[in-house]
C-alpha cells in the first residue's frame, strides 16, 4: 500500500510535530501518562502507562483505555497523511486479546487505505513483554475543521 502523496517532506516533519503538540494539548490527555510520536507518514506510536486508576473492579484496565489508545494511534496514523483538515472517527472495531494489568504499553497505528475523504487505519497494543493485548481498525473521515485553526496545532513559520 502506498500512502497518499504528501509532496516529499514539504513541511511533513513540521506537520508531524504539530500533530504531536495537538495530541499533548488535548484536555483528555491530561488524564493519561502518554506520548505520541510520528516518525513517518501513515504510522504513529503512543507510549503510555497503565495503572490501577484505569482498572475495573476485577483488577485490569477498563475497555475505555484500550479504545482510547487504539483509536488515537489509528487516528494519528491517518491524520499524518492529511495536513489541512482534522479527521473524525466514524467507526471503530476493537478486539481485546489480553488484560492490561499495568505498566508501559505501546499503541502502534498504521494507515491501511484511503487517499482523499475516508481513511482506514489499524492499531495494536503491546505490553512490556511484547505480547499483543488488543487491536482495532478505524474509519476516519475528513472534517471541515482546519488543523491550522486548532489551538494545539502549531507549525513553525
pTM: 0.92
Q: What is the pLDDT of residue 25?
A: 97
**Largest pairwise CA distance in the chain:** 50
Closest of 74, 50, 71, 79 to residue 62, by C-alpha: 50
| Residue 130, CB-side half-sphere exposure with 13 Å CA sphere | 0
C-alpha grid cell, residue 13: 516533519
Q: Write the CB contacts of 50 (distance below 8 Å, at least 6 apart in sequence).
A: 61, 65, 100, 101, 102, 103, 104, 105
Buried b (16+ CB within 10 A) or exposed e, 36-72: bebeebbbbbbebebeeebbeeeebbeeebbebbbbb
C-alpha grid cell, residue 131: 505480547
Closest of 82, 78, 79, 86 to residue 122, by C-alpha: 78
Q: 72, 24 in Cβ contact below 8 A?
A: no
Per residue of the chain (157 residues), what is the pLDDT tens digit? Answer: 545 444 456 689 999 999 999 999 999 999 999 999 999 999 999 999 999 999 999 999 999 999 999 999 999 999 999 999 999 999 999 999 999 999 999 999 999 999 899 999 999 999 999 999 999 999 999 999 999 999 999 876 6
CATH superfamily of 12-148: Hotdog Thioesterase (3.10.129.10)
Amino acid at each position: 500500500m502506498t500512502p497518499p502523496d504528501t509532496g516529499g517532506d514539504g513541511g511533513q516533519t513540521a506537520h508531524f510535530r504539530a500533530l504531536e503538540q495537538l495530541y499533548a494539548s488535548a484536555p483528555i490527555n491530561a488524564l493519561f501518562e502518554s506520548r505520541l510520536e510520528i516518525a513517518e507518514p501513515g504510522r504513529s506510536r503512543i507510549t503510555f502507562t497503565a495503572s490501577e486508576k484505569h482498572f475495573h473492579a476485577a483488577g485490569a484496565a477498563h475497555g475505555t483505555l484500550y479504545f482510547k489508545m487504539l483509536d488515537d494511534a489509528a487516528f494519528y496514523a491517518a491524520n499524518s497523511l492529511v495536513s489541512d483538515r482534522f479527521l473524525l472517527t466514524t467507526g471503530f472495531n476493537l478486539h481485546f486479546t489480553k488484560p492490561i494489568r499495568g505498566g508501559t504499553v505501546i499503541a502502534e497505528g498504521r494507515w491501511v487505505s484511503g487517499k482523499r475523504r475516508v481513511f482506514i487505519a489499524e492499531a495494536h497494543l503491546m505490553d512490556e513483554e511484547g505480547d499483543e493485548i488488543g487491536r482495532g481498525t478505524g474509519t476516519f473521515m475528513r472534517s471541515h475543521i482546519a488543523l491550522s485553526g486548532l489551538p494545539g496545532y502549531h507549525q513553525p513559520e
